[in-house]
Amino acid sequence: MAGGAGPAGGFQDEGRASITRRSEDRGAFKTPTLREVARTAPYMHDGSLATLEDVVDFYDRGGNRNAFLDPELHALGLTAPEKQALLAFLRSLSGTTLR
């Protein structure tokens, strides 16, 4: 699952900790580029989120809870227009190739 936390709060994927063996790296993944993100579904390291709407909902609920989640990540309480604005922003990051 996105963020590495499974349904029971355990990790299906240790992320960076599988290399560093540091507990604070459990569930940590490289921050990807958002360039062309509207064309690159599914999302997250495991493809567990099918659409950009799913990604915005994921962040709105503060990600998947786990013991190693940064305390700065929390539920956002976004309104429907705020979610639409975020989606419009994410879709604006795709372009056309110059000849």
Ramachandran category for residue 49: left, alpha or beta (phi over 0 → left; psi -120 to 50 → alpha): beta
Confirm or reject binding of residue 68 to ligand HEM (CB under 6 A): no
Confirm or reject binding of residue 86 to ligand HEM (CB under 6 A): yes
Confirm or reject binding of residue 38 to ligand HEM (CB under 6 A): no
* Segment lying near ligand HEM (by CB under 6 A), choices 16-24, 41-49, 91-99: 41-49
Alpha carbon distances (Å) from 8 to 1, 55, 65, 70: 11, 20, 10, 19
Q: Which of 7, 10, 31, 92 binds ligand HEM (CB under 6 A)?
A: 31
